[in-house]
Structure 1
Amino acid sequence: MIDRTIFALMTLCVTTVMLAACNQEERPGEVETFDAISDDEVITLLGTEPFWSMEIKQGVMLYTTPENPEGEAATVSRFAGNNGLGMIGELGGEALAIAITPGQCSDAMSDRTYPYYATVTIGSEQLNGCGYTDQQPFAGAAAP
């Protein structure tokens, strides 16, 4: 299990650094730790092609797909980086890493705009999508 945790942490760190470089201008000096998503917010992440969604609430993540609408739950540990929120855990015996970074994200299938980008790694599979919270909702139609 420790090998998977290290792999997940390394994947998350690399992904976070890559997304930070894409979404942020270079700033000299120290950067404050990301604190835009509080511990008590319910986070929803979603993606298309393939379709998937995650709801994260108080350290518990529920991952659903069209093939598994009931979903699979996992406990996740969160940590804040310089330009986003990271979470690690294990899902179905695979290392799980989640990176959430600020930016206007589109799911390319609706007229919605989401306040966060999401990158999820489950084992060797990477999922890309968007995210929002109960306190920071998406903009656009409620049911496209």
Structure 2
Amino acid sequence: MIRRLPALAAMMLAVACTPAQQDGIDPKGETFDAVAPDEAVNLVGTEPFWALKVESGEGVWTTPDNQPGTRFAVTRFAGNNGLGFTGTLDGNPFTATLTPGACSDGMSDRRFPFVATIALGGETLEGCGYTTSKPFTGDAAP
């Protein structure tokens, strides 16, 4: 019988084990350092629309049905190929990963420097990300 890794474990392995050399990734196993610990990290997705802002150990999760957002504690993990953030949101395990790579949200002309993946309540959501020092390019209000 083949067992599948839970989404959290698979995403953390991807963050920790990718051997490619690009955008701050070190194939020798050095920790990803392209995003400083004090930077704000923003992840966004469409269909369904969602957003996560992580800053100072706190995540704020917003959706069209929850514009003010839900605040929750997150723990940051720097792997070899990006960052992971874990926490509990509304009683559900929550994992977000941010990895280097050109990304488009598919709805605007914005270009993002990171790819984002969210695992929440058995769902996997995909989107894009940016940080304080590595912003998106394109119209600020498309």
TM-score with structure 1 setting the length: 0.84
Identify which of 10, 18, 32 aligns with 1:14. Answer: 10
CA-to-partner distance for each residue in 1:64-108, whole Å, 9 max, x for gaps? Answer: 000111111110001111101011110000001111100111001
Residue 83 (structure 2) pairs with residue 85 (structure 1): yes
Q: Give 4+ residue runs of structure 1 displaced > 3 Å after superposition.
A: 16-25
Query: CA separation in 1, counterparts of 2:139 and 2:17?
Result: 31
Q: Secondary structure of the residue that 1:49 maps to in structure 2?
A: coil
Of Structure 1 and Structure 2, the greater helix share is in: 1
**Matched-pair contact (CA < 8 Å) for 2:94–2:121:** yes
Report the Cα distance in structure 2 between the residues aligned to 1:105 and 1:13, rounded to whole angstroms: 23
Q: Secondary structure at the match of 1:50?
A: coil
Q: Within the alignment, does 1:117 sit opposite 2:115 as a pair?
A: yes
SS at match of 2:125: strand
Task: Tell me the residue number matched to 1:74.
Answer: 72
Question: How far did residue 18 of structure 1 move?
Answer: 4.6
Q: Structure 1 CA distance, aligned partners of 2:55 and 2:90? A: 19
Structure 2 partner of 1:32: 30
- CA positional deviation for 1:21: 8.1
CA RMSD of aligned residues (A): 2.4
Structure 2: which 5+ residue stretches go unaligned? 1-5
* Native 8 Å contact 2:15 2:79 kept in 1: no
Gaps in structure 1 of 5+ consecutive residues: 1-9
Deviations 1:116-137, CA, capped at 9 Å, x for gaps = 1110111211111000012110
> TM-score normalised to the size of structure 2?
0.85
Give the SS at the match of 1:38: coil
In structure 1, the residue matched to 2:3 is none
Tell me the residue number matched to 1:56. Answer: 54
Counterpart code for 1:120: I
